[in-house]
Amino acid sequence: MGLIRAVGREAAAKKYDILSAMMAHALAGDPGDQRLVLRLMALITTRYNWQGDELAIGQREIARLWCVDERTVKRDMARLRALGWITVKRQGARGRVSVLGLDLERILLDTRPAWANIGPDYLARMGGDRPEAAAPPDTTVVPFRRPEIAPADGVWGRARAHLAAEDRALFDAWFAGLADGGTENGCLVLIAPSRFHAAYLRTHLLERLRTAVRRADGGIAQVRIEAG
């Protein structure tokens, strides 16, 4: 999926589309998810710089906006970081607040299952499933069914299932060939089949791997990819 950037001539419409995706996702979830997404949307609509992808606001200000205490702010911001929805661009120091960013691609990936609740026009606009004219079946071709990837034991087993469910084509191309190299001091080691494979994952897909692994086990903070 291509990343939607809310800049340019259609910036306003893109912002509404992203916020609509978050809204639909929240409404389809439990009260805890709804509250968390609503709080993030409050930060986005009041303090987020779309053009620069920057959110700079202190915990005390967030607590006032959310009508909660600062401990709740720390907990929910940690949850949003663990989801991969927000990232730390510059760590705060000497009285300066941290500058955060939004991972719009991750947000859209996570909210995609709820897009259909908005309507077919939204699906078409966002690049989701488009209704197409039915083609006559080709009776000479036997359809190939890829086996389901069920959650397995261990951190990597659970992360594999999540990655396969999220984007099966990407999983088959880049994640299926990874082997579990064990964990070391809160870091999961994955073994790639070649140096090129490992380099590509480090450059293009490392954050997606980290997010899947964190969701499988919140105690794993890092992922290291080595060539076999």
What's the domain count of the chain?
Answer: 2
210 exposed, middle or buried (CB, 10 Å; 0-12, 13-18, 19+)?
Answer: middle
Residue 122 lies in a domain: no
> Which CATH number do you get for residue 29?
1.10.10.10
18 and 103 part of one domain: yes
Residue 130 lies in a domain: no
Residue 219 lies in a domain: yes
**Separation between Cα atoms, residue 14 and residue 11, nearest integer Å:** 5
79 and 21 part of one domain: yes
24 and 102 part of one domain: yes
pLDDT tens, 1-44? 444 556 566 678 889 999 999 999 999 999 999 999 999 999 99
> Which CATH number do you get for residue 216?
3.30.300.180
Residue 146 lies in a domain: no
- DSSP symbols for 137-175: P-TTSPPPPPPP----SSHHHHHHHHHHHH-HHHIIIII
Q: Which of 17, 28, 2 is CA-nearest to residue 114? A: 28
- How open is the CA angle 100-117-158, to the nearest 5 degrees? 60
pLDDT at 143 over 60: no
Tokens of 201: 């994952």
Domain boundary, last residue among 84, 111, 138: 111
104 and 26 part of one domain: yes
Residue 40 lies in a domain: yes
159 and 91 part of one domain: no
Q: What does residue 58 show for φ and ψ, rounded to 5 degrees?
A: -80, 160
pLDDT tens, 60-83? 999 999 999 999 999 999 999 988
Residue 31 lies in a domain: yes
Domain that holds residue 65: 11-111
Domain boundary, last residue among 83, 111, 139: 111
pLDDT of residue 8: 61
pLDDT at 133 over 70: no
Residue 24 lies in a domain: yes
pLDDT tens, 197-211? 999 999 988 888 988
Over range 93-116, report the average pLDDT: 89
Residue 168 lies in a domain: yes
pLDDT tens, 19-31? 999 999 999 999 9
104 and 193 part of one domain: no
pLDDT of residue 134: 41
